[in-house]
Amino acid sequence: MERRPGVPRLLREINDRAALELLLSSGPLTRGQIGELTGLSKVTASQTLARLEERGLVEVAGEQAGGRGPNAALYGVVSSSAYVAGLDVGPEFVTTAIADIRGRIVAEATVAPDGHDDPVAVVHNAVVKACRSAKVALSKLRAVVIGTPGVVDPRTGDVRFSFDLPGWHEGIHEALARDLRRDVKIENDVNLVAVAERTLGAARDADDFVLLWVGRGIGLGVVLGGRLHRGRSGSAGEIGYLPVPGVPLAEDVRAVPGRLPSLAGGLQSLVSAEAVTELAAQYGFTGQSAAECVAAAVEAGERGRPLLDDIAGRLALGVASVCVVLDPGLVVLAGEVSQAGGSMLTGRIEEAVARICPVRPQVVASEVDGNPVLRGAVLAALEQAREEIFAS
């Protein structure tokens, strides 16, 4: 019989991965529970746990009282075996979260660029500050994921252009990886919000949905078949450019050296924060931001209905356009304006879409707490780090 020395090793790797995945999702567990849930025999489960303990990934985390006989040891993943960093990068602040391999946030830190144009220096300072706060060595980070506004080219990993971050350009991705001495992933911020929504929010376990971000700007995250759809150039979801009736077309949209593309025209001109604030003033609502104006309309009850109807009608143009092409079934509304409008806004959008679209998607508000970009960045970093550990 031909010997296949690689097969036992492959089986060990499969068993180790199955046990580790189970402990990350459901632990701590006893050896018997691990064997039962993975289908491993008691002997194989014991050998698997021994290997994982030797690698410093698993440890005895307590005991479970049984009937007769001694208590059974509970095994759990060693939280400090690896860490990840997620970043939310904006024009005014950069926020970093450090999480252990189990997903527990151990520290958050925010820094201001303070006029520094070099993205590498800004990100380095943000990560180092967060690591110091968490008392975690930079070398312990297994993955770093950065969320930024703008278009991220999935082929190169670089930001192709961003209105808010003109210093982020081709070559930054490689420079960041070289500076931090590890792989770094840059992702569009709205895409990361969609990641957080699918794991923690209103789109839990939904295979097909779109997330419409309405805040200072407008963007769309698309999830199809359980995977983010970025498009060939990373421009999927740039819904601000969508041509809509009664609004001039966006022009000069190409980014060229020395000039950023224009955002005048298209859907952006109808539902940007500036547009919503101006619209609210026409209905007698004012505030420091578009979100404050929308919140005031919600609180005003009957008097605020016309403004909410108008905003919903504008957003419905974008939602309907997406739905007749993708038919996602679920639309999640996120961002400051969306949060302020809540169910009063989502319900109106759903009704408005049904009037102009042959399909009627469910429109719901985001359920992700805290900073959704940061949450999504951490989740993406955890997925990457765990995959590396599983494969090592």
Report pLDDT for 257.
47
> What pTM does this model have?
0.90
pLDDT over threshold 50, residue 3: no
What is the dihedral angle through the alpha carbons of 140, 141, 142, 144, rounded to the nearest 10 degrees? -170
Interval 192-216 mean pLDDT: 95
Give the residue among 266, 267, 289, 262 at the shortest CA–CA distance from 278.
Answer: 289
Note whether 341 and 311 are within 8 A (CB). yes
Q: Work out the pLDDT band at 8, boundaries 50, 70, 90.
A: confident
Which of the two residues, 45 and 263, has the higher pLDDT score?
A: 45
Interval 10-16 mean pLDDT: 87
Report pLDDT for 322.
96
What is the dihedral angle through the alpha carbons of 160, 177, 87, 158, rounded to the nearest 10 degrees? 10
pLDDT over threshold 60, residue 153: yes
Report pLDDT for 260.
45
The string of pLDDT tens digits covering residues 211-233 is 999 988 899 999 999 999 999 99
pLDDT over threshold 70, residue 253: no
Report pLDDT for 60.
92
Inter-residue long-range contacts of 384-387, CB under 8 Å, 24+ positions, other chains counted: 384/84, 384/142, 384/143, 384/145, 384/183, 384/185, 385/82, 385/84, 385/101, 385/142, 385/143, 386/21, 386/24, 386/101
- What radius of gyration do the chain's Cα atoms show? 24
Decide: residue 221, CB within 10 A, 0-12 exposed, 13-18 middle, 19+ buried.
Answer: buried
Interval 361-379 mean pLDDT: 96
Report pLDDT for 10.
81
Sheet strand arrangement including 83-89: 105-111, 94-100, 83-89, 141-148, 184-188
The string of pLDDT tens digits covering residues 170-184 is 899 999 999 999 989
Report pLDDT for 258.
46
* Collapsed DSSP state (helix, strand, coil) of residue 68: coil
Note whether 156 and 123 are within 8 A (CB). no
pLDDT over threshold 80, residue 251: no
Give the residue among 382, 323, 296 at the shortest CA–CA distance from 85.
Answer: 382
The string of pLDDT tens digits covering residues 259-313 is 445 556 789 999 999 999 999 999 999 999 999 999 999 999 999 999 999 999 9
Cα gap 313→241, rounded to integer Å: 17
Interval 246-254 mean pLDDT: 67
Note whether 229 and 222 are within 8 A (CB). yes
Report pLDDT for 6.
54
Give the residue among 294, 293, 245, 291 at the shortest CA–CA distance from 270.
Answer: 245
pLDDT over threshold 90, residue 79: yes
Report pLDDT for 361.
95
Report pLDDT for 264.
62
Give the residue among 130, 162, 154, 133 at the shortest CA–CA distance from 144.
Answer: 130
Burial code of 251-284, b = ≥16 C-beta within 10 A, e = fewer?
Answer: eeeebeeeeebebebbbbbbbbbebbbebbeebe
